[in-house]
Amino acid sequence: MNIRTTAPTAAGRLLSAFEGAMGIPLPVHVRCWDGSEAGPASDVTIVFRNRRAIRRVLWSPNELGLVRAYVSGDLEIEGDVFRLLALPDLVDRLGTLSVRGSDCRSVLKSLTTFVRLGGLGLRPRPPSVEAPRRRGTKHSKARDASSVSYHYDVGNDFYRLFLGPTMVYSCAYWDQRSGSSETTGTLEEAQDDKLDLICRKLGLRSGMRLLDVGCGWGSMAIHAAEKYDVSVVGVTLSHEQAEWARARVSEAGLSDRIEIRVQDYRDIADGPYDAISSIGMSEHVGDSALLGYAEHLLDLLGPEGRLLNHAIASVRSLTGTENSPGLIENYIFPDGEVLPLSRTLDAFEHAGLEVRDIEALREHYALTLRAWVSRLRDSWDDAVRLAGAERARTWLLYLAASALGFEEKGRLTIHQVLTVRPSDDGSSGLPRTRALWLR
């Protein structure tokens, strides 16, 4: 059933104005501040709570305008956010006022409607949680520390709401234990399996020394020390993460084997290490610094030492338009860069690391993100209390959109890349088959 209205209500006029400006129908249901509704019947509705929501979209006619409207609360999403975000080209259609498919008469009519609805006026201020303008050289130590703090130092208790007790903030590994096509196990089991997979790929054994770059809340360090009897140095730029990680290490009785530092990876100088894990950290490094990152980690490895890099990757080479400011840059990862796998491999090989294994985990991350969204929804009141309504909405939108990004081929993926520093005689120290080194 289609309940698109032709009456001159705010919702009907607004939807018609957007469609007229863009020259295409919008498959969305809309409700406005006066209670009027328009558009196809749907189990999800875009609610324009006030006229300022229109101004936000018009002042930033791209993803950023929609994000600002939603995060600020001027625009709401009623119903299943996944259903809305999965509508074909929704952001491109509603968030980019391209007039290439419209005639001049339609565009002028739409502009007149926007004016009469109060959609034109002063640019609204960005939501308070939007990242401040970056200062200093991109990927300098000071600027990277500021960017990491913006993302991670928002409250450990907030993160725990959706990460759960493991406090692992990266793609889990959903093992199909039963041998069937169905994924089994809890998020906690999947995260434990991921950590163990990394430990096995690194070949950890009793007495080894492990460096965990971007150690987060200490989960990898604790797992490696408890299960594989290694000593661990974990580094992070987040003071809140370090505080939480140190408390967990002490509670586990592992303070004699685990050291947690607030330190830039470029300042680590106490190698050699037998193995290095970098889990969800290199996205903060940046394309321009990636070779230096690989070279420095190589210098910290002893002969036959292994490095595992676990990182999100773009499927296509990035262009300027794909890097335009939006949700990720302005609200989630300032200065973060998701690069194609080929860039990472090129940097590792130029540094002198030998790439030995690559495993793609795209479907695993989609499952992980959906689990996080479910937990955030179930703890919504606590999330708003701990982080505020704007930040809670930011994270719900980010996690849901990311889940769809990993579910749809051709958008995002994630890889574990295992490399080794060969000895002087060329030996890698790795068994000849995966079956042997994954035991």
CA-nearest of 217, 221, 278 to 245 is 217
Q: Do the Cβ atoms of 259 and 234 come closer than 8 Å?
A: yes
CA-nearest of 299, 319, 287, 309 to 361 is 309
CA-nearest of 371, 364, 411 to 89 is 411
Show the 3-state SS of 368-423. Answer: HHHHHHHHHHHCHHHHHHHHCHHHHHHHHHHHHHHHHHHHCCCCEEEEEEEEECCC
pLDDT averages per 10-residue partition of the chain, 439 residues: 58 89 82 94 91 90 86 94 77 52 71 87 92 89 92 94 96 72 78 97 97 98 98 97 98 98 98 97 95 98 98 71 67 92 97 97 96 97 97 95 88 96 93 82
Per-residue model confidence (pLDDT) at position 91:
59
Q: Do the Cβ atoms of 98 and 22 come closer than 8 Å?
A: yes
Domains recognised in the chain with CATH numbers = 10-116 (3.30.1050), 141-437 (3.40.50.150)
Per-residue model confidence (pLDDT) at position 120:
80
Per-residue model confidence (pLDDT) at position 92:
57
Buried b (16+ CB within 10 A) or exposed e, 46-58: bbbeebbbbbbbb
Instruction: State the residue for tokens 């919702």.
Output: 11
Per-residue model confidence (pLDDT) at position 6:
46
Q: Do the Cβ atoms of 416 and 309 come closer than 8 Å?
A: yes
**Can you tell me the distance from the alpha carbon of 270 to that of 280, in angstroms, rounded to the nearest whole number?**
22
Query: 1 CB contacts (<8 Å, ≥6 apart)?
Result: 41
Which residues on neighbouring strands pair with residue 45, listed in sequence order?
29, 78
**Can you tell me the distance from the alpha carbon of 350 to that of 435, in angstroms, rounded to the nearest whole number?**
28
- What are the strands, taking DSSP E only, across 315-382? 354-360
Q: Strands 301-314 and 412-420, how do they pair?
A: antiparallel
Q: Strands 354-360 and 412-420, how do they pair?
A: antiparallel
**Can you tell me the distance from the alpha carbon of 436 to that of 334, in angstroms, rounded to the nearest whole number?**
41
Query: 227 CB contacts (<8 Å, ≥6 apart)?
Result: 196, 199
Residue 74's identity, in one-letter code, is D
What are the φ/ψ torsions at residue 122 (nearest 5 degrees)?
-65, 150
- Residue 194 in tokens: 């991921």
- Residue 239 in tokens: 């003071």
